[in-house]
Amino acid sequence: MRIYTWNVNGLRSILKKGLMEFINDEDPDILCLQETKLQEEQIDDEIKNLKGYYKYFSFANKKGYSGVAIFTKVEPKNIYHGIGIEEFDTEGRILIAEYEDFILFNIYFPNGKMSDERLDYKLRFYDAIMDYSKKLLEEGKNLIICGDYNTAHREIDLKNPKQNEKSSGFLPIEREYIDRFLEIGFIDAYRHFYPDKIEYTWWSYMFKAREKNVGWRIDYFFVSNNFISKIKDVEILTHIQGSDHCPVKLTI
């Protein structure tokens, strides 16, 4: 089984930049998208008519903002739109699909750059996801949390770590939260296979950052310790264009 995560920076936009070709070429079993930026009535007919997939969406109350989606060939046993906490669920950042062998979280974690208030919101969001997932881990569930975490974990995960030590996305407090995810029972699946490899998943649209490969690795698959043995590989598909992020592929 092949699961993909991709922040598309607008689903309607990515449709014009090769999303259907990507789906046809890669043929994902499960495709998790973040930052869809649409409401239910704005879903394109191309998506509605996409054959072979069950399609699920979580929408933000605010129009043109946030949003996540899951396209899956295998029908989940259950789908959860959020974690039952209104201040987080109203931004449409969370979809949880329960399958026979694992539970898949598709999450668009908040960005903390706008203000101190948003940074606080981001950190409380991290706490809420950890609390929610920790209960499932204690029940012995196999978990995969994929998506845009909006934080680079280590210096190896961004081009210019020193210049960004005081920038949200690489603040010590944010990096500590990633440490805490690992401490409660998760493994960064990409680093499990490639501890020293330098690849990025996001590049600014400014200063020809992608052309120069001045990027950040902020899109992850975190896999619970009890399930990592089932993972065959994780690949960062840097050649796929269309968004300021590229897709990441996990093979079970």
3-state helix, strand, coil in the chain (%, to 5): 30, 25, 40
List the CATH number of the domain containing 168. 3.60.10.10
Listed residue (103, 35, 22) closest to 69, CA to CA: 35
Query: How far apart (Å, rounded) are the C-alpha atoms in residues 221 and 228?
Result: 11
Locate 185 and state its tokens.
């029972």
CA–CA gap between residue 184 and residue 152 (Å, rounded): 19
Domain of 230 in residue numbering reads as 2-251
Q: Which of 215, 222, 158, 150 is nearest to 190 (CA)?
A: 222
**By the 8 A CB rule, do 74 and 30 touch?**
yes
Total tally of structural domains belonging to the chain = 1
**Per-residue model confidence as pLDDT tens digits over 43-88:** 999 999 999 999 999 999 999 999 999 999 999 999 999 999 999 9
Do the beta carbons of residue 91 and residue 60 sit within 8 Å?
yes
User: What is the amino acid identity at position 252?
Assistant: I
Q: Indicate the average pLDDT of the chain.
A: 98
Rounded (5°) CA angle 196-236-31 = 140
Please indicate whether residue 148 is annotated as part of the active site. yes
**DSSP category for residue 244:** S
Chain segment 121-177, per-residue pLDDT in tens: 999 999 999 999 999 999 999 999 999 999 999 999 999 999 999 999 999 999 999
For residue range 159-172, list pLDDT tens digits in order.
999 999 999 999 99
pLDDT more than 70, % of the chain: 100
**Residue 82 and residue 198: Cα distance in Å, rounded?**
33
Distances (CA, A) of 221 to 37, 61, 62, 250: 22, 27, 27, 7
Q: Which of 148, 157, 188, 219 is catalytic?
A: 148
pLDDT tens column, 2-33: 999 999 999 999 999 999 999 999 999 999 99
pLDDT over 90 (residue 114): no
Q: Determine the pLDDT at residue 15.
A: 97
Share of the chain above pLDDT 90, in %: 100
Of the CA atoms within 13 Å of residue 171, those in its CB half-sphere come to 16
* DSSP-assigned letters across all residues of 161-198: TGGGTTSTTS-HHHHHHHHHHHHHTEEEHHHHH-TT--
